[in-house]
Amino acid sequence: MICHVLAIGDVVGEAGIRHLARHLKPLKRLKDIHFTVVNGENAAGSGIKPDQVEALYTAGADVITLGNHTFGKPQIARRLEDDPYLLRPANFTGRAPGRGWGVYDCGPVQIGVMSLIGRCGLDFHADNPFTTADKLLKGDRPALAVVDFHAEATSEKLAMGYYLDGRVSAVWGTHTHVPTADEEIFPKGTGYQTDLGMTGPIISVLGIRPEQSIETFLGGLPGRYQVAEGPCKMQGTIFSLDSQSGKCVGVERIDIR
């Protein structure tokens, strides 16, 4: 059986949530998607609120991953403890609430989903994501396993992809909000893309009003960042996975506007 896994890039603001709600389920029907992972760490701009978690599930997410803004909205802490489908980076300190690895039903098979955060350019005193992945992949695990690596540096993401090649079915990057044109299948059968892109306003700087971002780079005081307005895009990638071998057999970028 071929299991089609859809990974959706960082959802930005209420506008991104609304766009996801309009387009995700039709895309899943069109592409025969069996399982969907959505990065939701920017649903509230910085972080995600409990009602937005529900909105992403209603829109069609099976699992929600987070990143450096996991605790941007502190009220999410209890939800992280109680909700097995909401994942924060597994290599956060052990004192952080929540989990970064889960195993879920994907049709007649099971799929493991891992959330990791990079350390290059992200100062969060996180544990080593490479050795964290090693620990989580020890012992019994499902044939299908995918990784959302929330990281700044393309080098760190590529290194992770090659490090896990043949040990997981797919590795994709999030965080930079700009899709990369490097979707591929690595030599040992792992599907890969450096960054999925984002789900949010098209005319923006990573989802934020352009004039605010420009003011920052000019050295001014932009104030509290505001999500841009106007038409949105939904970006992500479909990984086609062989449930017997665990290998990726197809990778397709998507961009719905």
The closest alpha carbon to 190, from 139, 149, 239, 137, belongs to 239
**Residue 104 — pLDDT band, cuts 50, 70, 90?**
very high
Which pLDDT value is given to residue 204?
A: 98
The closest alpha carbon to 41, from 73, 16, 77, 66, belongs to 66
Which pLDDT value is given to residue 95?
A: 86
Which pLDDT value is given to residue 107?
A: 81
Architecture category of domain 2-256 in CATH: 4-Layer Sandwich (3.60)
69 is catalytic: yes
Q: Which of 69, 150, 175, 177 is catalytic?
A: 69
Which pLDDT value is given to residue 180?
A: 98
Average confidence score pLDDT of the chain: 96
% pLDDT > 90, the chain: 91
Which pLDDT value is given to residue 125?
A: 83
Residue range 130-149: mean pLDDT, rounded:
95
Q: Enter the pTM of the model.
A: 0.97
